[in-house]
Structures are given as structure tokens and as C-alpha cells.
């Protein structure tokens, strides 16, 4: 979307081939509907908190069908917006699956088109493990269109999608189990985030089980029997695998065109998103570099500038902020403590954990966690991490400081907004390590 629109505004003749809906994974079966579901799931906690502030709240009832209908209406609206944006920019739209037939040729619906440059931005697709009965389970794609909510759900995985959907199901009243093969959630993130998130999810009612994976699924009359690697068996109404995604490159004709593919079918590209064939480029999840929507759009912008703006622009993947919309939310920017120790050597760690002012009115034991990772030699803040309400909103602002190379002294010199949770990022003074 971004690469097509910006290239067109820079004077290029652009066509886009799309066999599905505009907006890709994010708009249709990713960020947008997932965040809407996350909002819905958080209301259960909000309603509980309301009573502590004097509100008399009747026993709430949740309408899954209404949420689905309103979500679908919003996704339809966004699809229309995106199509109008492309059309207004002068981009030609071809409805159908594109096949690469050569370094400058693409076939759509049996018709061949030639192009000076070809861009592959076909994203990724969720994968299921190769175990008996895997076909009985769903992935995140189907989770957005369930006919009804299950009473008991098993979510398998320990990354973004797994913890988000486990939190969503739990928040909507589903008896939820999260099973992960590893020893802590959120592999690749700061280790404390994964450990603390598991604690908070358990506190909210999710059964988080580590070192545990299904080895077989068996269909029962109205349920699914799951056998685990520890020889235990349990029954659920729904099983969802959130066990990874692979680039969407199968059957596109890339290899026959000479494009080098890597592990899992990813398109191997250089810093300018050019593949092994000079005229063929790739951006987004299909390259499996850093699979986030803002990263993909940034790569699209950089490619348009490189090809048609007269300004070769490499992609910048450093200090990218991100949020995980679990309950509670996790957000982070920069290096984890573990990665910082590898890269910087000696680091200073500042962290805090506390109950928020809002929670102090009731019986909730939920705790906010914040952490700053500082390069001991330069005193630059190289990582900031948070678990708690509005973490994504807070870290977005902190990310500007981290990207600009702010030091701990500059954080300390910044006055906090009181009373907020965010002020803790500029009031942490004592090193924990």
C-alpha cells in the first residue's frame, strides 16, 4: 500500500495486484481487529474497577455477535478507504493473484504485464505444527470469525499472538489455558517481561503452562481432546495454534525468476530491499526481517524514495518500538538487558514495580513494571521496557528519546507529570544492577 502510493506520487506508473482485501494481515486479520477485540476484553476489568469508585454496575452481559458485526463494519470501512487512496494516487488495481514470470514480467489472471521494477509484499501466513489432528485447531486467521465463543479454549504458543489471544479469550469470559514449549513467555524480549507477564496473566485467571506442548488432537462429539508431551490429556472446545508464521512465497514463481529464498521461504534482500534479482524487490513480513506493520510501511517508503525519489534510502531497523496487547499490555523499545550486555558490555539497570493509583482503590494486585537499560560507558538509555496499562501509549513517547540517544541524566532532568505511571520513567534513581 505505502510503496504503491508513494511511488505514484513520485511520478512512477504503478499497478497493484491483490487477490484478497486491501490492508494485508494488519487491517483484516491482525493489528486492527485484534486491538478492537483487546478493547472489548479489557472492559471486564474496567467494570470491576468501577465499583471501587462508587459506581453501581449491574451484572454485565457480553454479546459476541455484536462485537463481530461492529468489527466487520470497521474493517469494511478501512478497506474502502485504502482502495480510494490508491485510486486517487493514480495506482491501477488488478484483482487477482500475481505470478512472477521473469525479472520484468508478471502474470495476473492470465494476462502478462511488464514492469521495470517488481515488488513482492505478500506477507506471511500462520503455521500449525505437524502433529496428528492439527486440522482440528484454528489459527489467528479464523479467530476473528468464530461463530460463537467457546467455553474452554487452549492457546498454544508464547509470542505476541498467543499471549494476546489468551488475554482476549480470558477477558471475554472463556476458561483459557496458554501452553508454551519454552520456559518463559515472549522469547527474544527482555526476560523479565516474559516472566512478569506470565505472573499477571495467571493473576487474571489464565492457566499459563510452560514446558508443555500438544502432541495430538482427537475429535470428540462436541469438543477436542488434547494429548500433551507429559502424557496428560485434557478436553477443550477450541484449540488455537499461535506457533509462528511463514513468508507467503509458495507458488509465486520467484525461484524460477532467479530470486534467492531463505529459511521458510523468505525473500533474501539487501539494505535497500533488493532481492538477488536487481529488478525484483521485497518488503514486509515476506522478508522476515522485523515483522511489524510500521516497519513494513517504512520499508515501502524507503523503497519508493530509492527507486523514484533520487534518494537511495536504506531501511532502519534500530530502536523500533513495539507493543503486545495482552492483558496487561507490554511495550518496549531498544535493547533488552540480555542483548545490551552482549553489545555494550557493562550496563546499568533501573527498574520499578508498583500498584497504580487507580488500582489502590480496590483489591486488584496487578503491578506495573518498568525498566531502563543504560550503557554504563556512555550513559545512553539503550532500552526501555514496560508492562502495564497504556504501556504502548507511554513507550511511544519514550521511543523518541531512545532514538535520539538520550542519556540517563537527560531522563533525570525531565520533570514527570504527576500523578501518572509514566512519570516513573524519569524518577528512577537507584540502580538495581
Which of the residues are catalytic? 418
User: Quick one: which H or E segment has residue 38?
Assistant: helix 31-52
Pair type for strands 233-236 and 224-228: antiparallel
Measured CA to CA, the distance from residue 327 to residue 166 in angstroms comes to: 9
Asked whether the bond before 328 is cis by omega within 30 degrees of 0, the reply is yes
Query: What is the greatest pairwise CA distance in the chain?
Result: 68
Measured CA to CA, the distance from residue 402 to residue 374 in angstroms comes to: 10
Among left, alpha and beta (phi > 0; psi -120 to 50; other), residue 208 is: beta
Measured CA to CA, the distance from residue 218 to residue 212 in angstroms comes to: 17
The CA dihedral of 286, 291, 293, 298, to the nearest 10 degrees, is -80
Measured CA to CA, the distance from residue 333 to residue 298 in angstroms comes to: 17
Question: Per DSSP, which regions of 285-392 are E strands?
Answer: 322-324, 330-334, 347-354, 368-375, 381-387
Amino acid at each position: 500500500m505505502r510503496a504503491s502510493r508513494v511511488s505514484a506520487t513520485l511520478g512512477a506508473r504503478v499497478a497493484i495486484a491483490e487477490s484478497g482485501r486491501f490492508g494485508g494481515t494488519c487491517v483484516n486479520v491482525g493489528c486492527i481487529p485484534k486491538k478492537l477485540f483487546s478493547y472489548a476484553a479489557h472492559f471486564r476489568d474496567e467494570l470491576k474497577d468501577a465499583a471501587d469508585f462508587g459506581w453501581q454496575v449491574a451484572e454485565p452481559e457480553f454479546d459476541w455477535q455484536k462485537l463481530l458485526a461492529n468489527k466487520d463494519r470497521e474493517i469494511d470501512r478501512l478497506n474502502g478507504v485504502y482502495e480510494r487512496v490508491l485510486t486517487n494516487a493514480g495506482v491501477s488495481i488488478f484483482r487477482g493473484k500475481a505470478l512472477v514470470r521473469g525479472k520484468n514480467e508478471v502474470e495476473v489472471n492470465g494476462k502478462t504485464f511488464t514492469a521495470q521494477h517488481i515488488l513482492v509484499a505478500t506477507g506471511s501466513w500462520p503455521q500449525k505444527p505437524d502433529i496428528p489432528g492439527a486440522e482440528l485447531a484454528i489459527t489467528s486467521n479464523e479467530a476473528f470469525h468464530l461463530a460463537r465463543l467457546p467455553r474452554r479454549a487452549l492457546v498454544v504458543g508464547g509470542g505476541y499472538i498467543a499471549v494476546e489471544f489468551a488475554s482476549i479469550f480470558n477477558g471475554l469470559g472463556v476458561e483459557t489455558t496458554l501452553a508454551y514449549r519454552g520456559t518463559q513467555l515472549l522469547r527474544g524480549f527482555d526476560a523479565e517481561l516474559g516472566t512478569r507477564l506470565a505472573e499477571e496473566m495467571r493473576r487474571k485467571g489464565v492457566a499459563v503452562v510452560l514446558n508443555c506442548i500438544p502432541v495430538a488432537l482427537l475429535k470428540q462429539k462436541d469438543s477436542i481432546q488434547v494429548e500433551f508431551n507429559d502424557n496428560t490429556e485434557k478436553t477443550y472446545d477450541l484449540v488455537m495454534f499461535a506457533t509462528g508464521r511463514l513468508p507467503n512465497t509458495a507458488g509465486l514463481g520467484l525461484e524460477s525468476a532467479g530470486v534467492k529464498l531463505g529459511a521458510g521461504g523468505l525473500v533474501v534482500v539487501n539494505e535497500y530491499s533488493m532481492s538477488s534479482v536487481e529488478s525484483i524487490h521485497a518488503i514486509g513480513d515476506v522478508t522476515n526481517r522485523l515483522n511489524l506493520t510500521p516497519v513494513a510501511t517504512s520499508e515501502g517508503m524507503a523503497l519508493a524514495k530509492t527507486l523514484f525519489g533520487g534518494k537511495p534510502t536504506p531501511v532502519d531497523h534500530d530502536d523500533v518500538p513495539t507493543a503486545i496487547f495482552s492483558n496487561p499490555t507490554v511495550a518496549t523499545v531498544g535493547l533488552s538487558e540480555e542483548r545490551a550486555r552482549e553489545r555494550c558490555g557493562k550496563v546499568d539497570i533501573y527498574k520499578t514495580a508498583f500498584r497504580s493509583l487507580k488500582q489502590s482503590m480496590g483489591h486488584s494486585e496487578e503491578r506495573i513494571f518498568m525498566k531502563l537499560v543504560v550503557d554504563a560507558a556512555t550513559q545512553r538509555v539503550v532500552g526501555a521496557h514496560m508492562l502495564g496499562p497504556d504501556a504502548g501509549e507511554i513507550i511511544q513517547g519514550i521511543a523518541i528519546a531512545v532514538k535520539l540517544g538520550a542519556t540517563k541524566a537527560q531522563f533525570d532532568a525531565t520533570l514527570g507529570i504527576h500523578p501518572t505511571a509514566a512519570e516513573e520513567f524519569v524518577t528512577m534513581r537507584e540502580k538495581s544492577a
